[in-house]
């Protein structure tokens, strides 16, 4: 159930941050933080977080593996505040930064944005309250500030997304126009992919091939998911996201769920680290197997996840290989996107109990062998021979 708790926390925070019209009270529990901690530990191997809600505040300790350079330890201690931005003390390695110094640095950052009113008022208006309501539970009141977010993003472009919002909008509008003109009813996802990437191939002759590919894959995900893509759209353009209508019914290998798995995994691997995107797919399947209304654990869905993940990774990789991927997608069909015959041999609909009985966990060698078999089937398709292969486990 970890993925359920982590998803609930992420959803609550995203919903609050994306609605600047009012003040939001977001409840954070230790159970949710523990779930998030395990998800990050599994998905991002170089980062080890620990979160704890205490009597008078909360602590976050993060260890970052720097490889041959060793480790970097970071710590943040947030104390309760019933009126305004909470006191925040930091520790970077052995260097301690008291809460007053942290607040001064934050104020200086906001001052550099030249936003009215004073920086103190701006921060206190953003987080208006942080209290521990009971053991293992805290409540934070947030008033989203679009101007502050956009200003900080402009000051730190190295933290911004690798996707060009204007390019995403171009491809999204092109796809939407083609979708509306093609009428109602089920539509071939492969046909939409190849018509899109014929445009990508042409534009890449005189523009950045990687930027064109990334934008096209993200736009494909948005048009495939419909309203479910609203959070994805806001990650690309937080306060200028395109309107996302009801999705058309796209099919891949005779199924309507596989285009969503395929395109979302590609988009997430572009926007985030490939390890985190892989983990998100696995945790989603485990959530489905545990939830009463879930569809069960599906290796079929995971094959679509890994196929999309590999294409997303290729968009951030070697340019010569990327051009091969572009041409492959420009002339793709169902059999060239996924090995349809192999899909029919994979198990799905496994309950959480059935999954545990056969595979124990996603760290077990039997599970890892299944993922290796899925990758071998994908390798038989020419398109994926030019793509990086994500880690297993």
Q: Where are the domains of the chain?
A: 2-158, 165-386
Q: What is the pLDDT of residue 135?
A: 92
Q: Is-contact 191 167, C-beta < 8 A? A: no
H-run or E-run covering 141 = strand 137-142
Q: What is the pLDDT of residue 94?
A: 65
Tens of pLDDT, residue by residue over 324-367, are 889 999 988 888 889 988 888 888 888 777 877 887 766 678 88
pLDDT at 203 over 90: yes
Which stretch, 7-16, 198-207, 243-252, has highest mean pLDDT?
A: 198-207
Q: What is the pLDDT of residue 159?
A: 36
**Residues with Cβ < 8 Å from 151, sequence gap 6 or more?**
110, 113, 115
**Residues with Cβ < 8 Å from 33, sequence gap 6 or more?**
9, 51, 52, 53
pLDDT at 151 over 60: yes
Q: What is the pLDDT of residue 272?
A: 66
Phi and psi angles of residue 101, each rounded to the nearest 5 degrees, phi first: -70, -40
51 strand-pairing partners:
60
Q: What is the pLDDT of residue 18?
A: 75
pLDDT at 288 over 50: no
Q: What is the pLDDT of residue 289?
A: 45
Q: What is the pLDDT of residue 149?
A: 64
Integer Cα distance of 202 and 134 in angstroms: 59
| Torsion of Cα atoms, 331 then 334 then 337 then 341, to 10° | -140
What is the CB-side half-sphere exposure of residue 189 using CA atoms within 13 A? Answer: 28
Question: What number is the average pLDDT over the span 4-23?
Answer: 78
Distance spanning both ends of the chain, measured CA to CA: 19
Which stretch, 129-138, 147-156, 220-229, 297-306, has highest mean pLDDT?
A: 129-138
Q: Is-contact 348 300, C-beta < 8 A? A: yes
């Amino acid at each position: 159930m970890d993925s359920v708790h982590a998803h609930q926390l992420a959803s609550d925070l995203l919903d609050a941050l994306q609605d600047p019209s009012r003040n939001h009270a977001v409840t954070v529990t230790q159970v949710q933080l523990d779930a998030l901690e395990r998800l990050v530990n599994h998905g991002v191997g170089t980062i080890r977080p620990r979160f704890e809600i205490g009597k008078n505040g909360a602590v976050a300790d993060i260890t970052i593996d720097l490889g041959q350079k060793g480790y970097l330890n970071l710590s943040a201690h947030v104390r309760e505040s019933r009126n305004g931005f909470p006191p925040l003390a930091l520790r970077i390695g052995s260097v301690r930064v008291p809460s007053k110094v942290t607040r001064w640095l934050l104020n200086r950052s906001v001052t550099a944005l030249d936003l009215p009113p004073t920086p103190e008022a701006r921060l206190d208006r953003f987080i208006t309250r942080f209290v521990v309501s009971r053991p293992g539970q805290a409540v934070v009141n947030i008033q989203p500030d679009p101007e502050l977010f956009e200003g900080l993003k402009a000051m730190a472009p190295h933290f911004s997304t690798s996707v060009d919002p204007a390019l995403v909008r171009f491809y999204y509008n092109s796809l939407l126009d083609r979708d509306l003109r093609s009428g109602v009813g089920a539509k071939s996802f492969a046909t939409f992919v190849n018509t899109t990437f014929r445009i990508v191939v042409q534009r890449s002759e005189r523009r950045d091939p990687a930027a064109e590919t990334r934008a096209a894959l993200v736009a494909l995900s948005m048009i495939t998911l419909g309203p479910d893509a609203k959070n994805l759209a806001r990650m690309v353009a937080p306060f200028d996201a395109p309107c996302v209508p009801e999705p058309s019914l796209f099919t891949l290998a005779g199924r309507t769920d596989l285009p969503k798995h395929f395109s979302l995994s590609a988009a997430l691997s572009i926007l985030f680290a490939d390890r985190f995107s892989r983990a998100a797919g696995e945790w989603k399947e485990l959530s489905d197997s545990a939830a009463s209304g879930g569809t069960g654990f599906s290796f079929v869905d995971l094959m679509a996840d890994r196929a999309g993940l590999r294409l997303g990774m290729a968009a951030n990789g070697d340019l010569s290989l990327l051009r091969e991927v572009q041409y492959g997608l420009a002339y793709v069909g169902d059999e060239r996107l996924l090995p349809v015959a192999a899909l029919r041999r994979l198990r799905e609909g496994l309950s959480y109990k059935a999954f545990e009985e056969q595979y124990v966990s996603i760290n077990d060698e039997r599970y890892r062998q299944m993922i290796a078999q899925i990758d071998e089937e994908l390798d038989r398709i020419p398109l994926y021979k030019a793509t990086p292969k994500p880690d297993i486990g």
